[in-house]
Structures are given as structure tokens and as C-alpha cells.
Amino acid sequence: MKIGFIGLGIMGAPMVGRLLDGGHQVFANDLNPIQPEILEKGATQVSSAKEAAEMGDVIIIMVPDTPDVEIVLFGENGVAQGLSSDKIVVDMSSISPVETKEFAEKINARDCPYLDAPVSGGEVGAKAGTLTIMVGGDQTTFDKVKPLFELMGQNITLVGDNGAGQTCKVANQIIVALTIEAVGEALLFASKAGADPAKVRQALMGGFASSKILEIHGERMIKRTFDPGFRITLHQKDLNLALSNARKLRMALPNTAFAQELFNSVAAQGNADLDHSAMVLALEKLAEHKVCE
């Protein structure tokens, strides 16, 4: 299959690698130079999102935020200008569910189907091909693209119509943020009480408190390895989507708001580009104690 892929960052580059390993042609576009290893694997660099759309039968977008997707789709030399009938547009970014529906309608008007398919699993999952992929769109288009999804992920679910994938991703990010906060509190409590946080984590991994976040991010908190990963600034964006949409739904997300304030605190210290496991830095400041020196 010929694939146009726009956005080869921390997540996008390994996703392209998986597609190339699956034998597909990839026409890659990014604001930054394409990584040499991706070109060595056989990707073709193109000069614009329009050209990626012209060359691909499926066009995949993996960029940071809602305005970025809008520019990639509808800006100068954007995807929309390179589309012809029946090309499939797949947005795997994490963006606003409301605007996703608007983007889908505009692409559908060009006689092209649209899927929103945000992912969870971070850089580790992107490299391993174990991402969770939450899809919004119609069954026929989903079935056509599913073989590509299967190269990049394992837990792949058609959640509903356009926008449902993004809604699911927002829910995912609420759970992830609150679990990072819980793991940070627990390890910090154990450490300040005099227990070895590494051994506490090891013990908890065998019980009901076990989770991927305890496994991966708990280790990062102990080892102080906060290189992204998934940057705090991106999780702030996702929680802002949760909180703004909650206001529209006239509901409260009190713990989500608290998690966002912890992220805001870390960002205010100049650490917005650290991995989101670095939320623990805000908790450590409140406790005047570190999980591990």
C-alpha cells in the first residue's frame, strides 16, 4: 500500500518504521529533516503534505495539536489540495473531538473517507508495535485500514463514528494522568516513611495495584529518567481538552483539574518538555522530599 505520512516526531518516526517493515511504501513529510534511519529503511521524503496526499492511497497524520492538524489538512499545500476521490485520511494525533467531526465533514465533502485514530502507549509502544488505537469512523473504512493499524498496535477498537476515537483518547488521558499522580504519591509516601521505593514498587507489581504506569513510570520516578516519552506539554493539552469539553457537558472533573495543576506546576519550573512521569516533581516539592535521591 502507498502511504503518505505527515509528522515524524517521537511517535511518528517509529510508526513509519513499523509500516516500512510491513512492506509498504511511505512518502514522509515533516517540518524537520527526516531521520536517516527512516530513509535508509526505504521511506521517500516529500516536500509538502499536499505531495504526501498525492502519492499515498492512505494519508496518516501524526502531529501535536488541533491547530497543527488543521494546517496540515487545509493550509497552504495541505492534504486537502492533494486529495482525489476515495483516498483515505487517518488522523492519529490526539486532538479535539468537536473539531475532528468538522475536519471529517470537510474531507468527506471531497469524496474521501476519514478516520480519527489516536493512540496510547508512548514511544515504547510505537517502537514495539503495541500501541492501543482508538478509532472513530465507518466500519468499511476501518476494515480497509486495519492491516496498517495491526502493524503499529495490538489493541485496536472501532469505538464509533468520527470523533469517538478522540473522545476515547481524552478518557484515556484522564486515567493516565490520575494514575501517574497516584503512583507518584504512593512511591513518595513510601520513601518519606523510610521504605525503599524500588522494593515497594516491586512488591506492588505483584498485587492489585499493578499497572503499566507503575511498571514504566514508577521506574522512571525512582531512576530519575524523565526524558520523553510523552511530554508534559502534550498531556497538558489533552487534559485541557478534557476540562473544556467537560464544561460544555456541564460536568465536573475535579481530580483531572488537580492533575492539570500538578502538570502546570512542573511546567512553571521550566520542565514542560520532560516526560509526563515528571509530574512527581510537583508532589516532591509539596513534600520537600524526593522519591529517590
Residue 100 banded pLDDT, cuts 50, 70, 90: very high
Lowest mean pLDDT across 71-75, 229-233, 254-258, 282-286? 229-233
Q: What is the mean pLDDT of the chain?
A: 97
Contact 169, 238 (CB under 8 A): yes
Bridge partners for 155 per DSSP: 132
> 229 pLDDT exceeds 90?
no
Residue 293 banded pLDDT, cuts 50, 70, 90: confident
Q: Catalytic residue positions?
A: 169
Statement: the pTM of the whole predicted model exceeds 0.95 = no
Of 92, 100, 69, the residue nearest 18 (C-alpha)? 92
* Cell representation of residue 143: 476494515
Of 90, 193, 195, the residue nearest 148 (C-alpha)? 90
Residue 251 banded pLDDT, cuts 50, 70, 90: very high
Of 142, 121, 148, the residue nearest 16 (C-alpha)? 148
